[in-house]
Amino acid sequence: MIGSSVGPYQVLDKLGAGGMGEVFLGHDTRLHRKVALKCLAAVPGADADLGAHLLREARAAARLNHPNIAAVYDVIEHEGRTIIVMEYVQGESLRAHLMRGRIPIEQVIAIGRQLASALATAHAHGVIHRDLKPANVQLTPDGSVKVLDFGVARLIAPVDPTTDVVTTTRQPSVMSVGGTPGTPVYMAPEQLVGGQADARSDVYSLGVVLFEMATGRRPYGDAGSMALVAAMSAGDAPPADAVDSRVPHGLSEAIASALEREPEKRCQTARELEDALGRLGDPASTTGIHPPGALVLSAKTTWRLATAAAILLTIGVVGWRPLLMRWRAHGTPTHPTVLAILPVDNPSGDPQGEYLGAGIASLVADNFASIPGLTIVSRAATTPYGAKRTDLEALQRDLGAGYVLDLSVEAASPKLQLAARLRRPGSTVPDWSEVIAGDALSVEKMLLERLGRALEQSGALARSLTRAEWDRLQTLPTTSSDALMAYAQARELLDKSGNVDRAIALLQQATTTDPRFVTAWALLGGARLEKYQTERLPSLAIQATAAVQQALALDPNQASVRYQLGNVQYRTGHLPDAAESLRRALELQPDSDDTHRLLGQVLADSGNIDGAVAELKKAVAIRRYWGNPFTLGFVEFNAGRYQDALDAFRAAAELASSNPGPLQMLGTTYYLLGDTQQAIGNLEHALRLGKSAPAYANMAMAYYEAGRYEDALAAYQESLNRDPRSALNHRNIGDVYQRLGRTSDARQEYERAIALGDELLVVNPNDVRTIALVALCEAKLGRKDAAERHAAEAVALARAPNNREALQRSAEVHALLNEPEAALKDLEGAVASGFLPRMARTEDELASLRKLPRFEEILRRQAGNPAAAQGAQK
């Protein structure tokens, strides 16, 4: 086959062969990437249904999208053989790695967690592997792990979410490749004797792999099938720590739970095993092996709109801005006092003063957030006010600040001199002021104590601090001056939107110097997530997860760590986990508007709009800050409640008249309501305030609606210059090229949008909007099967308000593929969920439907459309 073509794939080389068939290295001529072509072997004597069965199994595997699973891209038939097109994974197999020697225990745990996470995701989609072994695990050059060969898994009943256990009985009438699949020494007892095979069989196989990694041998040696059955019948597998005393007892127990002979006694799910390994403490982030559950941003798009989530990154939801901790206590006031910490002034001119000031201010923010009844506005949010630090009324108006901490570094060396002032808007005399001198650690200690006394005496707390609160308040996160300096310098870089790469290097230095520096680990995770948000490289999301997991292992009772965990879980599509983490953060810090705001976003994406609005209204009540009504407006907007969205965006614009974000969304909402002039006016004003990627993209959208295609193209290209890896921008530019008659250019843009969308889905495989966008671009390129599959997947995954977008995209896909009945059915659902009839009448993709009588019938009906009650139907 070498040198020939299989569909769009050129066969370059042979990678290997086995009982399952041959594997070739291929080149995808459309997306210009390497792929692995697995040509399944024919089975002698197989019945006529075998090919269809193999195709079903491979397509089941194609639904899996997880950072630790080698993706299945395509399934094709070629000269009577089924060929599975898979991700080509460079690196070496775990088998080869084991042959070179024993693996360190921390890597055993890290690899095991990744494998368990991959299996849990597969089982949740109704797929079992049946042949997990070191040869099917690839270690990549960047240190991550990939499970291979899910392409020959059996389709089983999906996991019941109440039990997380799946079971299926082998049916002799359905043949599998090579007879009973699996390698005997890694197979569960029930598989060896031809009985039931379910998710717990994969758990057993993982137990064998863990045992081998930890001890260097397999639990029952290298016996054949019959000898293995006899050995298993004779007794349990030996404990791993009995075979090798270097194996920690906790790890040995986790392995033993996976190796129980009876499935009912065995660890019941891969997720349970993953959790058990996680409780052992995973130092994976210092070993180059990342923990499971890749974590990041899902693309927030609505129709042709630029991502409003990009605007949200400016309001304090960005991962590296640490949320501040507080303990739950009785007597917490309903409306907490808001303390804003200004960026530290540095009249000394010493660069070291900048870094020390940043570190000290962040420490004050972190520690004082532990006080019930006090909400902290950190330097990240107050940065715009640094140049006008005497305008306390602006801080009170925009951020709800009742008190302001103003710090000034008078000298950085030979010893630090820090001037501190506690001020109130409307008062010309500070409530407290003092110059504190000494080394950095002693200055921090004194500042925390003196500020606490000042807040007590000023009445800001309305009570005296308890002994436990004083202890927490005066606890330093590190005793290392070097680690503190590296952390402080990194904070300064991040707060000023500086060199993120340099900040990451400094935080790595801080965590190496003091491996128990929890806030440095948390900030490292946030910084890596910040870098991912710009570059969208999946490895960055994985690295962010590793750092946050390390912070969690060191101190699970910090609200800032729980917030960071919820943030990365949210941005990688783990919505239930994110909600749980954020609720835990609120137990620790109940009056944090940041956490209420992010939880509102999570609930909205989960389909719980009323719950989301309730959380966001709590955030609005806690603090007068433009980001709170803005996020509320964004949720109402996505739910099709456009008048409510306008009201919220206006409130946000009043609180932040110089911020382009609310004006961008006001313009976008007016656009959807059909008021193009108001839309363009607000969007042009937003552009004058800030030339961001979303501002240009939304401006381009309005130009496109007005028929100004050359202006739209220029605006989209300006947006793309600022966000070159935006799949949505490439799709929109493709549409403009189509309008301008540049068909070849349009196709290239759709191809690019698909490729970028695929990369996003590596990190967040449940991102409905991106899946639907990929489906639409595939339909525009005439790829019927792929477009239909992805459109159906988006609809199946969608939760309100995403349901409207998924149904709309599906309607557009079917319309483009000349399938009017399916398109009209989806259109009806989309309109009922909030898709505006006005938009349906103007969308290019739906043009083929507009001549059909049912089209107008569907639009006139409008039953259930949430926008109907708000006068949005035109």
**596 near 618, Cβ under 8 Å?**
yes
Which tokens go with 581?
């983490």
Question: In 574-597, which positions are buried (b, 16+ CB within 10 angstroms) versus exposed (e)?
Answer: bbebbbbbbebbbebbbbbbbbbb
Q: Is 47 exposed, middle or buried (0-12, 13-18, 19+ CB in 10 A)?
A: exposed
List the one residue out of 640, 638, 689 whose CA is nearest residue 662. 689
Residues in the chain: 874
Tokens for 545, please give them: 């997860």
From residue 150, alpha-carbon distances to 73, 87, 129, 426, 785 in Å are 12, 11, 6, 66, 21
Per 3-state DSSP, the chain is made up of helix, strand and coil in percentages (nearest 5) of 55, 10, 35
Cβ burial of 617 (10 Å; 0-12, 13-18, 19+) is: middle
| Residues near 540 by beta carbon (within 8 Å), at least 6 away in sequence | 296, 528, 529, 531, 532
The CB density around residue 714, as the number of other CB atoms within 10 Å, is: 16
Residues 116, 274: contact at Cβ < 8 Å? yes
In the three-class reduction of DSSP (H, G, I as helix; E, B as strand; rest coil), residue 614 is classed as helix
Q: For this structure, is 593 an active site residue? A: no
Cβ pair 830, 808 in contact under 8 A: yes
130: region left, alpha or beta (phi > 0 left; psi from -120 to 50 alpha): left
Helix axes 802-816, 784-797, angle to 10 degrees: 160
What span, in angstroms and rounded, lies between the C-alpha atoms of 487 and 506? 7
What CA–CA distance (Å, rounded) separates 167 from 676? 56
> In this structure, what token pair is assigned to residue 400?
């709800």
- Give how far the C-alpha of residue 526 lies from the chain's centroid of Cα atoms, to the nearest Å: 12
Residue in the block written with tokens 């898709």: 835
Number of Cα atoms under 13 Å in the Cβ half of residue 672 = 27
177 in helix, strand or coil?
A: coil
* Helix or strand holding residue 735 (H, E): helix 727-739
Cβ atoms of 147 and 91 closer than 8 Å: no
Which amino acid is present at 19?
G
Alpha-carbon radius of gyration of the chain: 29
DSSP letter (8 states) at residue 428: S
Q: Residue 132: phi, psi to the nearest 5? A: -75, 125
CB atoms within 10 A of CB 257: 17
Classified as helix, coil or strand, 577 is helix
Residue where the block lists tokens 């900030």: 523
Alpha-carbon distances, residue 454 vs 403, 418, 831 (angstroms): 11, 16, 58
Which among 28, 131, 282, 723 is annotated as catalytic?
131
Q: Residues with Cβ < 8 Å from 744, sequence gap 6 or more?
A: none
Location of structure tokens 């075979």: 243
CB atoms within 10 A of CB 163: 10
User: How many Cβ atoms from other residues are within 10 Å of residue 213's Cβ?
Assistant: 26
State the burial class of residue 515 (Cβ atoms within 10 Å of its Cβ: 0-12, 13-18, 19+). middle
Confirm if 147 and 66 have CB atoms less than 8 A apart: no
What are the backbone angles phi and psi of residue 328, rounded to the nearest 5°? Answer: -70, 135
Quick check: 181 and 205 in contact, CB under 8 A?
Answer: no
What's the rounded Cα separation, in Å, for the pair 620 and 627? 9
Catalytic residue numbers read 131
